[in-house]
Amino acid sequence: MKNWFYIFIAASFLSACTEKIEVDIPENTEKLVVEGAVTSELDSSFIRLTQSVGFFDDNKPTPTIENATVTVNGVPFLHTTKGIYKPAASYLGTAGNTYNLIIAHNGKQYTSSSTLEPMFKIDTVVPVFKAAQGFLEEGYTVAYFGFDTRPQIKYTYVRFGFKGKDSINESYSDFRVLFDNKGQDPTQPVVFEIPFVRLNIGDTSLLIFRSIDQSLYRYLLALGNRGGGGPFSTPPANLPSNIKGENALGLFAAYDVVRFRTRIR
């Protein structure tokens, strides 16, 4: 399939030229797209199956796949709605277990595997008062303390949210942190303070910790490094995938989840 792009170049203040460039864009090859997780939180595990669309079809609804056979370690995940497959109620992932995903669709098989690594122990989450600084008003941020005694190298993903004293719904900030424990002394505490956060008395902070495997770590790292179109942006590229099978991509992950709520008093 051929498409036409035009580049207008200002050669000088007095003249200009138009250069026509012919770009060959291959026809879309439909791919199975997998998004799934097994977690240590009750009834939160799922597999979502969709189908890729062409570059020039991105304004169309994403096709969902609703007739696949999905199992994780032999446990059936049944279709619920909009391409989402879930196990029976009360399903719970267990730290230390490896989970093997098998998908059968249109005579083809797709597989993936992930180990549910345990989270490191968080001892304390505390509010810390901060004076006004720069564009930040005075208020409270949140810090956590713990000891990471997991065998190296293990990976952790943290997301921050909060609920104002007058609000109903929780709000998640864009702040996320991704790190590993390489070089971490297990006898020394891990201390981290959430930056660029100012909460008020009566607010409730929410910290969500996930102990993830290397596949999800690489995926999130690549996602955070994707170019935004600026002159120093990373060139666009496909995100890493751990789905095995013909014309398939996506990510299947298992992770331990630990949540902390702290009321600012």
Same domain assignment for residues 136 and 111: no
Domain boundary, last residue among 88, 115, 142? 115
Burial (0-12, 13-18, 19+ Cβ within 10 Å), 156 = buried
Contact 73, 99 (CB under 8 A): yes
Asked whether residue 15 is assigned to any structural domain, the reply reads no
Same domain assignment for residues 89 and 161: no
Domain boundary, last residue among 115, 145, 166? 115
Domain count, the chain: 2
Helix (H, G, I), strand (E, B) or coil at 217: helix
Same domain assignment for residues 177 and 259: yes
Same domain assignment for residues 108 and 126: no
**Which secondary-structure segment (H or E) carries 214?**
helix 214-224
Domain boundary, last residue among 93, 115, 137? 115
Sequence-ordered strand ranges (E) for the chain: 2-9, 17-24, 32-39, 46-51, 69-72, 75-81, 84-86, 98-105, 108-115, 121-130, 139-147, 155-163, 171-180, 190-193, 204-212, 248-263
Asked whether residue 4 is assigned to any structural domain, the reply reads no
Asked whether residue 8 is assigned to any structural domain, the reply reads no
Asked whether residue 22 is assigned to any structural domain, the reply reads no
Asked whether residue 228 is assigned to any structural domain, the reply reads yes
Asked whether residue 1 is assigned to any structural domain, the reply reads no
Same domain assignment for residues 132 and 184: yes
| Polymer length of the chain | 265
Same domain assignment for residues 69 and 191: no
Q: Which residues contact 1 (CB under 8 A, 6 or more apart)?
A: 24, 25, 26, 27
Same domain assignment for residues 53 and 146: no
Contact 141, 198 (CB under 8 A): yes
Helix (H, G, I), strand (E, B) or coil at 220: helix
Same domain assignment for residues 254 and 139: yes
Sign of the alpha-carbon torsion through 162, 165, 170, 173: negative
Same domain assignment for residues 135 and 82: no
User: Which pLDDT score, from 0 to 100, does residue 79 have?
Assistant: 98
State which amino acid sits at residue 69. T
Same domain assignment for residues 109 and 126: no
Same domain assignment for residues 127 and 111: no
Contact 151, 178 (CB under 8 A): no
Asked whether residue 5 is assigned to any structural domain, the reply reads no
Asked whether residue 83 is assigned to any structural domain, the reply reads yes
Same domain assignment for residues 187 and 212: yes
The residue among 136, 210, 200, 129 whose CA lies nearest residue 176 is 210
Range(s) of the domain holding residue 99: 32-115
pLDDT by position in tens, the chain (length 265): 333 333 333 444 444 555 665 655 555 568 999 999 999 999 999 999 999 876 555 667 889 999 999 999 999 999 999 999 999 999 999 999 999 999 999 999 999 999 999 999 999 999 999 999 889 899 999 999 999 999 989 999 999 888 887 776 777 776 788 999 999 999 999 899 988 889 999 999 999 999 999 999 998 888 877 555 444 445 556 788 999 999 999 999 999 999 999 999 8
